[in-house]
Structure 1
Amino acid sequence: MHGRLTGIAGLTPGYFAGVMATGIVSIGAQLKGLVLLAGVLFWVALGFYAILVVLNVWRFVAYRDYVSDDFRDPARAFGFFTFIAATNVLGAALVGTGRTTLAAGLLTVSVLVWLVLGYVIPWTSVLGNQRRPMLDTANGTWFIWVVASQSIAVVAAGLEPVYHHLRNELAILAVFAWSVGVVLYAACAVFVALRVMLYPLEPRHLDPPYWVSMGAVAITIVAGARIVEMEDAPMIDVTRDLIAGLSVVFWAFATWLIPVLVAAGAWRHFIHRLPLRYVPTMWSLVFPLGMYSVAGIYLGRADRLPVV
């Protein structure tokens, strides 16, 4: 019992990445017509999500000091954004199977949490943190902030065909979240690049969350492709061509990143012989690969690019 309680106290904020990974593979299977596999993975993801919600609520109530420490730790705090992304990955899967009412509910929850955490986490972990310098704590988990933003755009765009009376509002939300995500990616990329260039980089530092740098681009592509497919609305009309073009650019960049990340993994595990063992952050590797596959499907369809 004591060990179980200790495990809950030390629960990693980014554990919802497991739901993200399972959910996106389910969506990819659904798009490829593998209905049975998609259904099984969806229910696994949903069960995983429910368990994590219960455990995290327990942790917030019973172990507030641990949670507070996580919010102040710039190397861990951005992992809380995985809750938003996981919620919307499930929402996107529900949209794909016609369960739009539940998807709309999940979107509402995620937007509210996003609006709060989007200001709280940068302040508690970085801006309001007395620790200086701060750049040496930047890592791949910072890109989860981008993933959370873009996941909102994906679900908002997916719900638009069903909620015609909210077309303008959903268009504004989708474009707003997509745009914020793009700017956040640029900011996170600068911080992480500076950390890599200015501070020693050891094999243990290049952990799986660095793959989120590619996954964040991939979900930006998915969100862009879904926005391009939305019906005419004032916000869509003025941004459709821009988003369509940038989505192709982002796809090229995401594709370019994959060999870089594979090489980094080889440098970490084969050259420096760092043991390959399971850690919770391993889920951060699965999600980007699944999202990249889904991004190619959506982008090729939206922009009529069979090669993608």
Structure 2
Amino acid sequence: MLNVETARGWVRRLSPDCFALVMATGIVSVAADQHGMPSVAQCLFWLNLVIYVWLLALSGLRLARFRSEMTADFIDPSRGAGFLTVAAATCILGTQCVTVMPLPKVAIVLAVAGAALWLALIYLFFAATITARIKPGFTRSINGGWLVAIVATQSLAALLALLSGGYTTWLFSSLCLYLLGAALYLLIITLVVYRMVFFPLRAYEFTPPYWIDMGALAVTTLAGSLVVEQSPATGPLTDLLPFVKGFTLFFWATASWWIPLLVILEVWRHGWRHVPLRYETDDWDIVFPIGMYTVGTYELAHALNTPFLLIIPTIGVYVSLLTWLLIAVIGLQRLYRKSVRKGAGSGHR
């Protein structure tokens, strides 16, 4: 049974990137809706809404009760970027309110909230990282988690494109965010790959956030595809569409290149180096890129009128659902075992 001390421990140790669960659940829901599974998509939407509210409440409690620990996480370069998952999750939940459920007013509220969170967190994170007096060093600071900054940016761009209704100002804002996200990716991925290639990377250091190397590209593909699809046939952005199409295809091709390498590194980590398989909050950073690649490829196929690409999301939606289900079951099993052990310990006392 959950007691007060256990609950306090959960709040105190809440991971900065806990909203990756909302991101993963939301994008898998969108993928299911794209492939004619409305019941699955809607069930995941309502579950995601509950999870989102619950994590917001826990985050608020942590801010109120354990502000020093939360601040320490935020100014830690290796963990601070994880807080941007709340902005990305807010925008992805808003995307669900457009594509899965007909809740446009809620989607607009979430878009405004997501934009405010994105503005506050992305500038505070980079400012805190730049001005920190004590820095832990390059290899201890940089990891795939930094790319959540791109995921948050492109998630907001995608939501604005969906809500634009062809309105030029909204589409222009979406396009600017798309280009900003692309520029940030090229900057940050250079540091991430440099760290992976030229410094020793132990198997236990290859954590799930490195999957965001691909996930950030997949959400960039989604944002660019939606800008193309939502743009009217004539207007001030028309001349830019060929550029957006080519740039989006560039990012999708790069995302596709990452997938086999990431799978190889997972085999190296668990099969060759025998790092044990066990549930961590970071595991949702694997589910999200797989789901986002599925959704992004689906939209790209429509934006470029390339139906032969649809075979990828047709298979990917089942891979996404199975991966989400597997991580969820493993997580629930771990939670159950921990509660049983705590209950047994309390009984012996």
The alignment's TM-score, normalised by the length of structure 2, stands at 0.84
Determine the structure 2 residue equivalent to 1:209: 209
Q: Hey, what's the Cα distance between the residues in 2 that align with 1:220 and 1:84?
A: 16
The one-letter amino acid paired with 1:221 is T
Shift of residue 43, structure 1, vs aligned partner: 0.7
Q: Which is further off, 135-144 or 49-58?
A: 135-144
The one-letter amino acid paired with 1:267 is W
Q: Hey, what's the Cα distance between the residues in 1 that align with 2:14 and 2:61?
A: 11
Structure 2's unaligned 5+ residue stretches are 310-349
Post-superposition CA distance 1:188-235 (Å, at most 9, x none): 101111212342210011111111110110000000000001233755
Alignment of 1:256-267 (within 5 A): 256-267=257-268
Which of 82, 95, 98 is 1:95 aligned to? 98
Give the conservation status (yes or no) of the 8 Å contact 1:227–1:236: no
Alignment of 1:120-199 (within 5 A): 120-131=124-135, 133-161=137-165, 167-199=167-199
3-state SS, counterpart of residue 14 of structure 1: coil
Matched, 1:12 2:15: yes
Shift of residue 132, structure 1, vs aligned partner: 5.4
Matched, 1:57 2:60: yes
Identity of aligned residues (%): 34
Q: 1:283 to 1:183 in 2, by over 3 A?
A: same
Which of 58, 67, 71 is 1:68 aligned to? 71
Determine the structure 2 residue equivalent to 1:249: 250
Determine the structure 2 residue equivalent to 1:27: 30
Q: Hey, what's the Cα distance between the residues in 2 that align with 1:286 and 1:225?
A: 21
Q: Hey, what's the Cα distance between the residues in 2 that align with 1:84 and 1:63?
A: 21
Q: Which is further off, 195-204 or 209-218?
A: 195-204
Give the conservation status (yes or no) of the 8 Å contact 2:231–2:238: no
Give the conservation status (yes or no) of the 8 Å contact 1:228–1:236: no
Determine the structure 1 residue equivalent to 2:83: 80
The one-letter amino acid paired with 2:276 is P
3-state SS, counterpart of residue 36 of structure 2: coil
Structure 1's unaligned 5+ residue stretches are none
Give the conservation status (yes or no) of the 8 Å contact 1:149–1:177: yes
Shift of residue 129, structure 1, vs aligned partner: 4.4
Q: 1:235 to 1:64 in 2, by over 3 A?
A: farther
Shift of residue 158, structure 1, vs aligned partner: 0.2
Q: 1:235 to 1:134 in 2, by over 3 A?
A: farther
Structure index of larger Rg: 2
Q: Hey, what's the Cα distance between the residues in 2 that align with 1:119 and 1:8?
A: 25
